[in-house]
Structure 1
Amino acid sequence: MQAPAFWYRPPSAPGLRARLLAPLGWAYAAATAYRLRNGNGFKTGIPVICIGNLNAGGTGKTPTTIALIERLTARGVVVHVVSRGHGGQLAGPVRVDERAHIAADTGDEPLLLSAFAPTWVARDRAAGVKAAQAAGAQVVLLDDGFQNPAVVKDFSIVVVDAQRGFGNGRCLPAGPLREPVATGLARADMVLSIGAAPAQAQFSALWPVDLPHVAGQLDVLQMGMDWADQTVLAFAGIGHPEKFFATLRATGARVLRTEALSDHQPFSDALLRRLEHEAASVGAQLVTTEKDAVRLPPAFRPKVLTLPVRLRLDDWQALDAAFDRLGL
């Protein structure tokens, strides 16, 4: 399911449904607080950097993880990623092998991340961190897990979509949050907001944070592909498909139609046949995200182009200083 529109109404005017669901949101927040308060986290001998969020759904954690992998690797640090493997069937801990595993085994995000750094899937995140350390990791990037107490984090980054912010400021199901903003940010070391300048200004006005705050935006990775005037049919099963569609339109591509799917939605044969037939009937090229592409059946992948994006930070000073403090 896509996030309901009322989740992203202004906090000052959340609407009737949010108010009616507020008691359930309070219960959800209380359950999260109880789990965190009673967790007994494993403390490893290497730094653990958590890349998490307060919102349910996509905020840009995967591009953030890729950016940190590249930055830390350039500093000569051996980076491993540990993920729960949402949507995958393997309990782990198991190191993801893009030649042997498919998204149904590991989840789409770990499969994508494994192309950039050794990546482990582990429902028991502590076991995953131990496996990464035993395999030679000098730092672990914990993909998600900010609300999971199984591992002690040395540095936690809360990633937020600057355009959407923290929505109406309410917890599930009354709003998009896994825990209240003030509660979550009290455990965080940094906020990373992702979006263009107008969205960044809007976020800062609505959600001033008393933490180091880094701004970034997603840029299309230039790989020699000229998207201008390319006729496409775009589909995406990520947390915020419209963000991907907007990025595609900004390249100059002629987007005939878009198909927004649920986050991590499996691609059925019927869905893929329909998309292929529709694209062929109007002379369009199928396009999707990198994360969606890894869920496609191997025989279907050559029929679909991907639009890769990378996180760009104008100023790495705050993160580089954090790496220095962690001895990286």
Structure 2
Amino acid sequence: MKLPAKTLAERWLKGAYQGSRWLAVLKPLGALYQRGMARREQAYRRGRKTSWKAPVPVIVVGNITLGGTGKSPLVAWLASWLVGQGFTPGIVTRGYGGKAPYYPLRVTATTKVVESGDEPLMLAQQTGLPVVADPNRVRGVQALIAAGCDIVLSDDGLQHLALARDIELLVVDGARGLGNGYCLPAGPLRESSSRLQRVDAVIVNGDLKQPLPVAPVTHMQLAPVCWRRLADGTRFPLTPLPFALPVHGVAGIGHPERFFRTLSTLGVEGDWHPLADHQRFSAEALSFAESRPVVMTAKDAVKCYDLAPPNSWILDVEATLPSEFEHWLAARLSALS
């Protein structure tokens, strides 16, 4: 497979996290963007713009950076944990990358990925819970409530202030942190880093490489749990490897390097092929000159069932969080009732 040349967006994102000097000329635009976001948030706080309050608790899982932080694994963990606590949760998401014939779209394990987008379909398959994709999250939450959900998880949506929330969880990639610390387009921030001080909890995915302007934080780890054969869904333990080496590793996620590092720690060797987040796959894109096993993420797999070669594999991962976070969340939910 001939890999596509890096797009300007990919080069920009790399520079935003590595502190490239050429982005300095965009700082005035970043300052304007930051002020605009601050005024927007203030308009909601002062009532000039209104937020819809759901009759059930709403937990928003979001971030303030571009490029992927691990929100969806946390949403899947929260969904499982809430079921264990006796709740009937539902998940609302924008459905990025999908184009449905109508909204709200109820996403099931058999929904077409071109309609739902990759993350909603992945969450529906992983959790078996009601998942609704809708750019209008208020409408999506209303659909989940009508379906019998007594608590809602919003996958992303920290900046979607038209939906009121009871708990805000902000996820940060520990390896990349807040990048160069500037707002778009000078850096990767969707809003000022001061936002970390106004959420209910900051969750760091992995080991933190640079300090954050908030303390304390909760640490989350993404732990590999099994290999899954794409063709039939059969699961295999992590060791011994159920495929021969070397492999082609592909990842169309916000931070592909994190996936490739995980493969390396599991003893997987081969060639790594980082792709754009939410990459649209084709049979040609997964056809390599060297015939090897293809290893991918669960997020990518939902787009590849009819495209990937027979010897394709998924690495399933799960989020793990400390018991202290569980106790804190249980107490917060109890206080809402």
What is the TM-score when the length of structure 2 is the normalising length?
A: 0.86
- Calculate percent identity across the aligned residue pairs: 37
- Displacement over 6 Å in runs of 4+: none
For residue 31 of structure 2, what is the amino acid of its counterpart? Answer: W
The answer on whether the counterparts of 2:62 and 2:157 sit within 8 Å (CA) in structure 1 is: yes
Give the one of 229, 237, 246 matched to 1:224: 237
The aligned residue for residue 309 of structure 1 is 317
The aligned residue for residue 25 of structure 2 is 20
1:245 to 2:260 alignment: yes
The aligned residue for residue 249 of structure 2 is 234
Deviation at residue 302 of structure 1 after TM alignment: 4.4
The answer on whether the counterparts of 2:173 and 2:204 sit within 8 Å (CA) in structure 1 is: yes
Q: Deviations over 1:250-309 (max 9, x none)?
A: 01112x201100000101332123x3xx341xxx21000000000114253744200111
The aligned residue for residue 144 of structure 2 is 132
The aligned residue for residue 96 of structure 1 is 107
For residue 258 of structure 1, what is the amino acid of its counterpart? Answer: W
The answer on whether the counterparts of 1:54 and 1:179 sit within 8 Å (CA) in structure 2 is: yes
Distance 1:114 1:267, change over 3 A: same
The answer on whether the counterparts of 1:58 and 1:239 sit within 8 Å (CA) in structure 2 is: yes
The aligned residue for residue 218 of structure 2 is 214
The aligned residue for residue 258 of structure 1 is 272
The aligned residue for residue 36 of structure 1 is 41
Deviation at residue 149 of structure 1 after TM alignment: 1.2
Residue aligned with 1:82, SS: strand
Deviation at residue 323 of structure 1 after TM alignment: 2.8
- Note the residue ranges of structure 2 that are not aligned, 5 or more in a row: 1-8, 44-48, 227-235
Aligned equivalents of 2:197, 2:160: Cα separation in 1: 15
The answer on whether the counterparts of 1:84 and 1:122 sit within 8 Å (CA) in structure 2 is: yes
What is the TM-score when the length of structure 1 is the normalising length?
A: 0.88
The aligned residue for residue 182 of structure 2 is 170
1:54 to 2:64 alignment: yes
The answer on whether the counterparts of 1:214 and 1:318 sit within 8 Å (CA) in structure 2 is: no
Aligned equivalents of 2:160, 2:252: Cα separation in 1: 25
1:321 to 2:331 alignment: yes
The aligned residue for residue 291 of structure 1 is 299
- Note the residue ranges of structure 1 that are not aligned, 5 or more in a row: none
The answer on whether the counterparts of 1:81 and 1:120 sit within 8 Å (CA) in structure 2 is: yes
Deviation at residue 23 of structure 1 after TM alignment: 1.3
The answer on whether the counterparts of 2:252 and 2:278 sit within 8 Å (CA) in structure 1 is: yes
Q: Deviations over 1:131-166 (max 9, x none)?
A: 111111110001101011120010000001111111
1:141 to 2:153 alignment: yes
Aligned equivalents of 1:301, 1:124: Cα separation in 2: 37
1:185 to 2:196 alignment: yes
For residue 240 of structure 1, what is the amino acid of its counterpart? Answer: H
The answer on whether the counterparts of 2:97 and 2:117 sit within 8 Å (CA) in structure 1 is: yes
Q: Deviations over 1:57-97 (max 9, x none)?
A: 21000100011011101111101000000000025112102
Distance 1:271 1:159, change over 3 A: same
Aligned equivalents of 1:292, 1:20: Cα separation in 2: 35
